[in-house]
Structure 1
Amino acid sequence: MRPALALPVLAALLLAQPATAQVAAPDSGDTGWMIACALLLLLAALPGLMLRHAGLANVRHGLAAMAQTLVAAATILLGWGLAGYSLAYAPGSEWLGGGSNLLLANLAPLRDGLTVPESAFVLFQMGFAVLAGAIAVGAIAGRARLGWVAAFAPLWLLLVFAPIVHWMWGGGWLAQLGAMDFAGGLVVHVLAGFSALALALVAGRPRDAQGGGHAHILAIAGGALFWVGYAGAVGGWALGATDDAATAILNLFFAACAASLGWALVDRLLGAHASATGLLSGAIAGLAAISASAALVGTGGAMLIGLAAAIIARIGAGFASAWIDDPAHIFAVHGLGGATGALLLPLFVLPLLGGVGFDAGITATASLLAQAIGLVVIALWALVGTAIAALIVSILVPLRATPQAEADGPDAVEHGQQGWDFR
C-alpha cells in the first residue's frame, strides 16, 4: 500500500475503535485487609468481651455473662443480615436508610467510592454491630434471662444502633452537620456505654450482693484480646491497606498505653493500689477515646487523648459505682472514654498539634459544636431508645431471672442443679 493511502486508512481504523472507559475493580489486597479486620473485630467481641465480662462478674454468673454475649451476638448477626445493614447504609432519608438491601439483596460488586466489594463492607460493619451489642449487655450479666436478651438484642439493633450508624456513617444528618467519628468513638463506644447505663438502671441491682471479679485472669485475658482485636476497627476504617491504616493502629496503641498508665496513676492518687484489671480498664478507655480520631491526630495527640480519657473514666467509674451495678465499668470506660475522645478531636486535629487539619471552610469552633451536638444526641438516643426497647421486651418476657436462678447462677447447670432459664 502506498504511503499516501496508508495514512488515511490507519486514521480511519483508529477513529473506528470505541473509547474504552476505565472500569473500577475490587482490589484483592484491600479486600483481604477489610475481611481480616472484620475477623479481628469479631475476635474482640467473641471471645474478648466474653472472657472480660465473665471474669469481672461474680463467681456464680461467669457462665451467664458468656451465654448472654453469645445470644446477643447471634441475634444481632441475624438482624444485621435481615434488615440492620439496609437501615444503616441503604439509600434513604437523612434519618434512616431504605429497604433496598433487606436480606442483603442488591449488594454491589464494588462499594461506591471503595476498592472492595460491598459484601466485604457488610462483613466489616457487622463486626461493629456485634461489638456494640456485646459491650452493652455486659452491664446486666447474671440478672437477665437469656430469652429476654435474645428478644432485646435485635430490637436494640434496629431501634438504636442502625439509626445512629446511618446518621454518622451512612450520610445522615449528623454527618451533614459536620460531626466526625473515624472508627466508632461515638457510634460504638458512646452508644454502647450509654445503652449499658440504661440497661443497668432498668434492671436494677442484684437481689443479693455477692461480690464481683471472681476470675481476674480471665478478665485480663479478655481485655488483652479486645485490645488487639480492636486494631481491626481503626485499621479497617482506613478502607484499605494504606498508610492511614498503619497510622490509625499506631495511634490506637499509643493512646491505650498512655491510658493504661493514667488509670494506674489515678488509682495511686486516690489511695488505691494499681491493679492488672485497672491497667486493662484504662487501656480500653484509651481505645474508646482514640476511635473517633485514630487516623486524624499525631502521636502526641493520641497519647494525650488516651491519658485524658483514662483520668475521666477512672473518676467516673468511682462515682457511677455508687448508683449502678456495673462490675466491668462499661458506662465509664466506653461511654465516658468515647465521649472524651470525641470532644478532644477538634483540638488535636489541628496541624499545630500534629493533626491532619480540617477541610477548607471548617473551623475548630464549628467542629467542636458539631461534636458536642453529636455526643448529646447519640447519648440521649442510646439512653431513651435502649430503655424503650428493654421495657417493650419486658412486656413479653420478664427481664430479671427468678430469685432462685439469680442466687444460684446458671452455672449450676454444670452440676445438674438447674437448666438455662429462657422463660
Structure 2
Amino acid sequence: MKQPVFIMRPFLALPFAMALLTPQAAFAQVAAADSGDTAWMMLCAMLVLLAALPGLALRLAGASSVRSALCAMAQNMGVAAGVSLAWAIAAYSLIYAPGDAWLGGSGNLLLANLAALREGMTVPESAFVLFQMSLAVFAACLVGGAVVDRGRTGWMVLFAPLWLLLVYVPVAHWTWGGGWLAGLGVMDFAGGLVVHLCAGFSVLSLTLIAGRRASATASGHAPVLGMAGGALIWLGLAGGVGGWALGATDDAATAILNGHFAACAGALGWMALDRVLSGRAAATGAVSGALAGIAAIAASAALVGAGGAMLIGLAAAAICRGIIGFIGKRADDPARIFVLHGIGGLAGVLLLPVFILPMLGGVGFEGAISLSDAMLSQITGVAAVALWSMAGTAIAALLISMLLPLRASAKEEETGLDMALHGEQAWDIH
C-alpha cells in the first residue's frame, strides 16, 4: 500500500516543524463592544422614550381639559422631535466632548467623530448617545407639561430645543460631563439632579410665567389617562436607572430593584397619608407617590441598599404630599411635575449622603470624603441647578416670546386648544 508522503519523505515535514517552533508575532487585539451591554443600553433607551412619549403624553392629556387633551399630546410629540434633533446637532457635543468646567467642546457636533467604543465602557459611543438622548427627551417633555391648557403648540416646539441648549446642557455637563459640580464631588447616579430637579424647577419658572389657566379648564378631565401614563413612566424609568450602570451588570439589576422598591414605598406612603389627612385614599395618590419615589431614588439607585431605597421613596412621598396644597395655590401645574419631580428629585439628592453610608446598606464614600463634605456638595449642587433652571427657563421663554406669544387667546382657551389646533374635524362633528 502506498505510504503517506510525510512518512516516505520526512524531510518535507521539517519546515513545518520549524515554523511551529519559531516564535510568532503577536496580533494586536482590537477592542470590540460587548454585544450584551450594547443591547442593554439600547433597550434602556427605548424604555425611557416609552416613559417620555406615550407615558407623559397620556399623563398630560389626562391632566388637561377634555377639549385640550389632543393638543397636550401633540405638544409632547413636537417637543420630543425638536429636542432629539437639537441633541444630535449640538447638545451631545456640548455636554460630553472635551471642553472646560462650564461647557463641552465642538468635537461631536452633528454626532461626528463618535468612537467605535466609548472610552472606559464596553459599548459603542452611538449607544451611549442614544441612551443620553432619551434622558434629555424625557426631561424636555416634563417641562412641556407646564403649559397644559394654555400654551401654544408652536411656542412650545420652538422653546424646547432652546431650553435644552440653555438649561439642560450646562447642568448635564457640570454634573456628568466632568464639569465644576463633578469637581466639587456632587453625586447623581441617574438623574435625580440633572433630569428630575432640573426639569421640575424649570416647570415652576414656566408656570409662573404662563399664569393660571382659565377657570373653565382648571381641572383634569380623565384621571384614568393620568394613571395609565404614570404607570408607563414607572415602567419606563426603570430603563433610566438601569441604563446608567452602562452595561448588563449587577449594578443595573440593583438599580432597577431599588427604583421599584422606592416607587412602591412612595405609592403606599402617599395613599396612607391621603387616608390620614383627608379620610380617604385617592386613586391618583398611588401613582403620584410612585413618581415621587422614582424621582427621589434616581440620584442613588445603585448606591444604596434595598431598605435605604424604600425609606427614600417613602420620605419623598411624604414631603411631596405635605407641600402639594401649598404649591397648588401659587403655581398652576396640572400634572404636578414641579412637586413630584422637582421636589422629589431634590429630596433624593439630599438624602443620598445619608443612605449611601455602609451602616445603612450603602456602598460608602470613595476616598476620605466625610458625610458633612458630601452633604455640602449636594446642597451646592441643588442650589446651583435649581437657580440656573429657573433663570435659564425664564430667559428662553422671553426669547421665544419675542417671536410668538406663549399663551393662546382667551377664546381659544375657552373653546379648547384642540379646536384651535385642528379645527372642528378633530371632534368628528360633521
Establish whether TM, by shorter chain, passes 0.5: yes
Q: Corresponding residue for 1:195?
A: 202
Deviations 1:23-77 (A, max 9, x none): 3210000000000000000000110000011101122221121111111111101
Matches of 2:51 and 2:232 in 1, distance apart?
6
Matches of 1:359 and 1:115 in 2, distance apart?
23
Matches of 1:395 and 1:413 in 2, distance apart?
21
What is the letter of the counterpart of residue 132 of structure 1?
A: A
Matches of 2:278 and 2:342 in 1, distance apart?
25
CA pair 176-274 structure 1, distance change in 2 beyond 3 A: same
Q: Corresponding residue for 1:126?
A: 133
2:338 pairs with 1:349: no
Could you tell me which runs of 5 or more consecutive residues in structure 2 were left unpaired when the two chains were aligned.
1-9
CA contact (8 A) 1:410 1:418 kept: no
Q: Corresponding residue for 2:22?
A: 13
Q: Corresponding residue for 1:411?
A: 418
Matches of 1:308 and 1:107 in 2, distance apart?
41
Deviations 1:327-380 (A, max 9, x none): 211111000000000000000000000001111211111111111100110011
Q: CA deviation at 1:273?
A: 2.3
The match for 1:109 among 81, 91, 116 is 116
CA pair 200-270 structure 1, distance change in 2 beyond 3 A: same
CA contact (8 A) 1:194 1:383 kept: yes
Deviations 1:64-100 (A, max 9, x none): 2111111111110110011011111111111101011
* Greater displacement, 408-417 / 259-268: 408-417
Q: Corresponding residue for 1:164?
A: 171
Q: CA deviation at 1:405?
A: 1.1
CA pair 124-160 structure 1, distance change in 2 beyond 3 A: same
The match for 1:150 among 140, 157, 161 is 157
Matches of 1:358 and 1:18 in 2, distance apart?
45
Q: CA deviation at 1:262?
A: 1.1
The match for 1:371 among 369, 378, 384 is 378
Matches of 2:202 and 2:26 in 1, distance apart?
55
The match for 2:287 among 280, 284, 294 is 280
Q: Corresponding residue for 1:250?
A: 257
What is the letter of the counterpart of residue 203 of structure 1?
A: A
Q: Corresponding residue for 1:400?
A: 407
Matches of 2:19 and 2:311 in 1, distance apart?
66
Matches of 1:299 and 1:150 in 2, distance apart?
40
2:47 pairs with 1:40: yes
CA contact (8 A) 1:285 1:334 kept: yes
TM-score (norm 1): 0.94
Q: Corresponding residue for 1:178?
A: 185
Q: Any idea what SS the aligned residue of 1:230 has?
A: helix
1:231-250 matched pairs, under 5 angstroms: 231-250=238-257
User: How many residue pairs were aligned?
Assistant: 413
Matches of 1:363 and 1:150 in 2, distance apart?
44
Matches of 2:310 and 2:405 in 1, distance apart?
44
Matches of 1:280 and 1:120 in 2, distance apart?
31
Structure ID, larger Rg? 2
TM-score (norm 2): 0.92
What is the letter of the counterpart of residue 328 of structure 1?
A: A
Q: CA deviation at 1:13?
A: 3.4
